[in-house]
Amino acid sequence: MSKQTFIQGTIILIVAGLITRVLGFVNRIITAKILGAEGVGLYMMAFPALLLIITLTQMGLPVAISKLIAEAELNQDRTKMKRVLVVSLSVTGILSILFTLLLLGCAPIFATFFLTDSRALYPLIAITPIIPIVAVSAVLKGYFQGRQNMKPTASAQVIEQVVRISLVALCTNFLMPYGLEYASAGAMLASVAGEGASLLYLVKSFKQNKPIKVRSHFLKSLQKGRETFSDLMAIALPATGSRLIGSISLFFEPIIISQSLALAGITTAAATAQYGELTGFVIPILFLPTFITYSFSVSLVPAVSEAAANNNFTAIQHRIRQTIRTALLAGVFSSIFLYTFAELVMNVMYDAPHTAYYLKILAPFSIFLYIQGPLQAVLQGLDLARSAMVNTLIGAIIKLAALFVLTSQPELGIKGATLAIAINMVLVTLLHIHVVSKACGFVIEGRFCLFVIGSGLLSVTGAHFFNQYFLAEFTVIIHALSAVTISIAAYSLFLFTLGILKWNQLKQLIPKIF
């Protein structure tokens, strides 16, 4: 099996993440054009319930599998690898079947009484087949990540998006004559097909590269897997705590928002549309740079775990510095650009410039979001998953309380939900920084942050003035292309001039992708 270094694996995931996010935005634009804000709202209302069930099904096993497989690979212990896979597949398989049946049974009650829009039932039912598919995919991804081979995971992400985009217009248009709720269900079916294709690729890659035969003596390995199950749970349960809390928070989010908007005097259809604009239009744009930080997060867990096992805190600090610097480089530029060009971005992407005020509220705080994922991965690698879970719990409780208090105010409405999300981003990230700093002496580099923020402000502001004074009569597409090109070019120039980026480093990284 092709094993990559930390940087190689991260770059592979970053490239795949970039392709996936671009394809994902194509998918969202197509979906938004066909369904509109109200249809996207129905689509997004079903997603939190799905994410919660997937989290319960996986139980944090991908992280645990990655760590145990990495340890077994280091010791060349093929027997342990097989037991990890057998036990993981058994646990996720049983749980996925149980939770799929549970969701099918409870979907009518959930859609009618909690989401206040009974039409959400159809997307909920349409998405249920994805649960066992994602469960098995997660086990295989954890296996590949533990062996530090990121190519199958990266390729699977791209395949999933390509299949989804290929089918989303077909499915939604075919079902649109039956009603908006059926069209939203069609978009969900396209997602199921994409995940299915991704799983088929992962299975094929596993069969080609596996050093073990999983089906051989499966039951025998399962019977001897009690100790392996305990090892998996010891890592998985604390690791899943943060994700479970986040999923529960997201599960209650549409319930609280829809109920609070009703208290504020907003009708059901309008509330569904506003929720769709916030969670279906704005939040995905805000999350765009996280493909970079996610890539580092995936690679960080086994890398930090290995360094911690060897008491190599110098290596841990080096990895953290690499990750946070990269997150800041992407995140600072993104947050400044999205704030400055909010109306232009929402107009070009969704033909919805009126939703720019959501983006303007969240963009300044998004930098906290971009460094939150890597910090959580570091905590998991340092066996501080419990601290990460406590931080996430505190943030979730405060966010849900703020959602109700702020969104139910008639003068705020959906703006209150936006402010609550911003509060959560800042609070959880600051708590993570505090714990990581205590654990390994890590500190934010003030000089580096100052240079990056200054470069971002100068480059984006310059592009804004250029558009205003030289391109005032041109179309929004020209404005968008000019803003992106000038901002990125100027930002890169500033970073190279200040010595933050070095051409020699980039030349060394390019061959590592292959």
Is residue 464 within 8 Å of residue 341, measured between CB atoms? yes
Is residue 306 within 8 Å of residue 70, measured between CB atoms? yes
Is residue 247 within 8 Å of residue 52, measured between CB atoms? yes
Question: How many Cβ atoms are within 10 Å of 438's Cβ, its own excluded?
Answer: 11
Is residue 134 within 8 Å of residue 92, measured between CB atoms? no
Is residue 433 within 8 Å of residue 422, measured between CB atoms? no
> What phi and psi values does residue 155 have, to the nearest 5 degrees?
-65, -40
Question: How many Cβ atoms are within 10 Å of 58's Cβ, its own excluded?
Answer: 28
Give the distance between the most distant pair of CA atoms in the chain. Answer: 74
Q: Which tens digit of pLDDT belongs to each residue from 28-78? A: 778 877 888 788 887 777 777 777 887 888 777 777 888 788 777 777 777
Distance from C-alpha of 191 to C-alpha of 176, rounded to nearest angstrom: 17
Distance from C-alpha of 347 to C-alpha of 338, rounded to nearest angstrom: 12
What pLDDT score was predicted for residue 236?
Answer: 75
Question: With bands split at pLDDT 50, 70 and 90, how would you rate the model's confidence at 461?
Answer: very high
Among 146, 160, 111, 134, smallest CA distance to 57 is for 134
Q: Name the percent of the chain in helix, strand, coil, to the closest 5.
A: 85, 0, 15
Low-confidence winner among 76-90, 285-299, 404-418, 440-454 (lowest mean pLDDT): 285-299
Asked if pLDDT for residue 4 goes beyond 60, the answer is: no
Distance from C-alpha of 286 to C-alpha of 289, rounded to nearest angstrom: 8
What pLDDT score was predicted for residue 513?
Answer: 43
